[in-house]
């Protein structure tokens, strides 16, 4: 377990916290895009991009969507782009499965808020890493997660294993998380942990907090198991490769 250092406490409101770290070699095995592929690597946390009120509105989108399904285990996902929704031990396509009923669940305003939030996070990441936001593309998977303390039933429910996004997904260059609930208020456990040699750097979730980082092995990470309550977040990821870009979800 090593030494744990808290990078961002729930109770503090951080304008901009950024830690630069040396880049791993993961990016060398993929096509490089000048002006976008990370040459400066690191991780940042900000509470100044998305308001708590906006985070609550987004959490309600997640709650409505996930109320249509949910995993038998403790981790459920909802992907508005692909339509992937946890249902029991499997996934269904929300749009095919529920058809026109989707119009009763989500509104145009929901999707407009989602787009606006995604753009602001993209601009913040570009600013932190000194690149143009126009050179970044939204990539998949980009999804809501709802985690509670229910025992895992399938490997999809085992969210707590250490991993590297670039290794897992390939297309990821920059990863962000927008937290939609509060550590110690809404849930226990569930902190985000960067696993560095000799120490852990933790981020305590807080509604409206954005944590972002370069997706290579320099940012090996995991999420602690949630012990009680429910933890909501949304993972929004970006690639430098236009071939892996996706559009915003549309109703």
Q: What is the pLDDT along the chain (251 residues), one digit of tens a residue?
A: 567 899 999 999 999 999 999 999 999 989 999 999 999 999 999 999 999 999 999 999 999 999 999 999 999 999 999 999 999 999 999 999 888 888 899 999 999 999 999 999 999 999 999 999 999 999 999 999 999 999 999 988 999 999 999 999 999 999 999 999 999 999 999 999 999 988 999 999 999 999 999 999 999 999 999 999 999 999 999 999 999 999 999 88
Beta-carbon neighbour count of residue 220 at 10 Å?
17
Beta-sheet strand order (sheet of 3-8): 3-8, 199-203, 192-196, 221-223
CB 44 within 8 A of CB 127: no
206 is catalytic: no
User: The pTM is what?
Assistant: 0.96
Q: Where are the alpha helices (H) located in the chain, listed in sequence order?
A: 52-66, 94-98, 102-105, 108-129, 165-169
pLDDT of res. 167: 94
Would you kindly state where each structural domain of the chain is located, as residue ranges? 4-244
Strand partners, 91: 86
* CATH 2.60.120.620, applies to 4-244: yes
Per annotation, catalytic residue among 146, 191, 209, 231: 231
First to last CA, the chain: 44
């Amino acid at each position: 377990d090593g030494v744990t250092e808290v990078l961002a406490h729930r109770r503090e409101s951080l304008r901009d916290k950024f830690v630069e770290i040396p880049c791993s070699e993961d990016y060398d095995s993929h096509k490089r895009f000048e002006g976008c592929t990370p040459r400066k690597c690191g991780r940042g946390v900000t509470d100044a991009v998305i308001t708590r009120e906006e985070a609550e509105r987004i959490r309600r989108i997640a709650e409505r969507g996930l109320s249509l399904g949910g995993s038998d285990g403790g981790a459920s996902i909802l992907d508005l782009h692909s339509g992937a929704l946890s249902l029991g031990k499997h996934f269904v396509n929300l749009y095919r499965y529920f058809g026109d009923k989707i119009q009763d669940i989500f509104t145009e305003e929901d999707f407009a808020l989602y787009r606006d939030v995604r753009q602001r996070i993209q601009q913040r990441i570009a600013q932190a890493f000194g690149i143009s936001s126009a050179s970044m593309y939204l990539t998949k998977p980009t999804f809501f997660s709802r985690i509670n303390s229910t025992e895992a039933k399938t490997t999809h429910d085992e969210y707590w294993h250490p991993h590297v996004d670039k290794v897992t997904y390939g297309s990821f260059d920059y990863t962000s998380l927008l937290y939609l609930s509060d550590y110690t208020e809404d849930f226990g456990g569930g902190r985000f942990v960067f696993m560095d040699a000799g120490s852990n750097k933790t981020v305590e979730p807080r509604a409206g907090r954005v944590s972002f980082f370069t997706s290579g092995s320099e940012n090996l990470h995991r999420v602690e198991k949630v012990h009680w309550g429910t933890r909501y977040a949304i993972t929004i990821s970006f690639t430098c490769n236009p071939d892996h870009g996706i559009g915003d979800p549309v109703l």
